[in-house]
Structure 1
């Protein structure tokens, strides 16, 4: 490129001269820190366009003490579950001047704490935490340094708020759907035993059976880990045990995918011989064979609510943070017996 054709970078003082105002007035317009007469604002915007002025965002943010970033701690960058929630946060931030900075904790409390410390060191203005195993007390302590909103835990601190979806109610709805279709021998593939969502779904499964007078059969409760491979192995163990069941309630959709594969390999038709219900309603669940009946967690909506809430906390505005409700999505993986 011909060096002579490169336009030199304009300064704020050149913008001020072209607009016929002071450099301080230009700064107030750029920062939005004070009202400026409409004619002056228009003149400044025209001068900025003509001179192709690029403000030094980093320097301005350092001066104001704001990085204009929101940290997001997720647990997996590859999971569709967390991707939907992150997309919701990102949508809430669009057009606000704030950008997301995303890290993963990989379900390891010490790594979560390390990544949060890294985000705080990067001077994020607020922090969104998507699930995880870090203790609530540690999150409340960290909120003394930066505003925090969290999903998957109930928090009520001066500078920290969080909510959970009603996993118990969602599990009750899933099992109730199977019972209403005549199923009484309902297997359950659990999630990690130390995961609060998994615990709530197990309780919903057991309590719904009890309400209908269906005896609890621990032999039909298979351990799992919220993964496809865990669902596959759990269903294979159930089949090998010789226990009779006409339906499977999987603790999440990934588990249901693995269970469906185990049934396919045994030549067991879904739903003609065994019905399957999941939990989450991942995008791919409407395209499984057959499409999966599941409990929908409105994760994009969750992310939007978290994103709006952290902006309210950063701006010290009144906070409105209410949890959406899970709903049963009926597709084609359940039939009556």
Structure 2
């Protein structure tokens, strides 16, 4: 097995210089850096990462707490984080909290016990106070909340504006009887989308009808159940805005089973722009959350925080993606 000393001998530098280069503990001149990198490539040298970590006190890992390992929503964000970590020497260590605050706290403790250098939290039910308290032990970047602590930073997308654009699109297409499937009542993004729906109706002097606002939980089954409830009530509606794409899929299924055509009979808009939304029948008009870009911003932010560099996180903007699930009323 190739050793540090052999790399140093061939590169014409000291073993200490090679170690400094590998550990990043001190600057190495450009000539020496190039010589070391060339020899590492020639000899196919593989550093003993565990030994390096013990010396530096760094695991070169970023803990990543998601809420689902199979959701396309979280998968896009995780892919963006992974992209931001490429070439940095850091690797993600992923766990799921399953939307349970106690489980989220337990998983974070496991990550901290494994000496992650930083932590990225994708949504969840931990309070801001809990996250700020945890940040005393490890730097944290969080998505879905606004945080500005010494070792904690978080940002949210403008869900309110995104919902306003969705409802505005329906109104501009002549719709006034607009149903809404809400997300969980205690979820900040869901609250913002509901407020956007209500305020846009009010701006156009459209009276909100309580019977057209249905409860959902961001899962397909709740979208299906909401539409079944709506149809059973006999309420008139020409358009439906679902607070996320998954509930829009469930709503579409319920309509299909009742012979209701989209968009000929009812127009439908979702929220998220999951990859599959462009392949639904018809392709779904939806509010795009640029989740890959969000992940990249989160990844860059945690690296800056670990390096104690100024944060330069860019908050991506939402946009309405117009496809074929909305029609203009005559």
TM-score normalised by length of structure 1: 0.94
Report how many aligned residue pairs link the two structures.
329
Q: Secondary structure at the match of 1:26?
A: helix
Work out the CA distance in 1 between the residues paired with 2:175 and 2:242. Answer: 15
Taking the aligned partners of 1:57 and 1:286, their CA distance within structure 2 comes to 43
Work out the CA distance in 2 between the residues paired with 1:40 and 1:291: 56
Cα deviation for residue 116 of structure 1 reads 0.7
Q: How does 1:1-337 map to 2 (within 5 A)?
A: 9-337=1-329
- Output the CA distance in 2 between the equivalents of 1:323 and 1:36: 35
CA–CA separation in structure 2 for the residues paired with 1:299 and 1:159: 23
- Equivalent position SS for 2:286: strand
Q: Distance in 2 between matches of 1:20 and 1:220?
A: 76
| Contact 1:281–1:296 (8 Å) recurs in 2 | yes
The offset of 1:320, in angstroms, is 1.3
Unaligned runs of 5+ in 2: none
Provide TM-score, normalisation by structure 2: 0.96
Structure 1 residue 15, shift from structure 2 partner: 2.9
Gaps of 5+ in 1: 1-8
C-alpha distance in 2, partners of 1:321/1:196? 21
Is the alpha carbon distance of 1:25 and 1:282 closer, same or farther for their aligned partners in structure 2, counting shifts above 3 Å?
same
1:101-155 deviation per Cα after TM superposition (whole angstroms, max 9, x unaligned): 1110000000001111111111111111100010110000000111111100011
Aligned partners of 1:49 and 1:216: how far apart in 2? 67
Alpha carbons 1:163, 1:322 under 8 Å: kept: no
Root-mean-square deviation (CA), in Å?
1.4
The separation in 2 between residues aligned to 1:328 and 1:256, in whole angstroms, is 15
2:144/2:157 contact within 8 Å kept: yes
1:38: Cα distance to partner? 4.8
Change (3 A) 1:209 1:19: closer
Q: Secondary structure at the match of 2:304?
A: helix
The CA distance in 2 between the partners of 1:289 and 1:201, in whole Å, is: 24
Contact residue 23 and residue 56 of structure 2 kept, 8 A:
no
**Alpha-carbon distance change, 186 to 41 in structure 1, aligned in 2, over 3 angstroms:** closer
Is the partner of 1:70 in helix, strand or coil? strand
* Distance in 2, Cα, partners of 1:33 & 1:279: 46
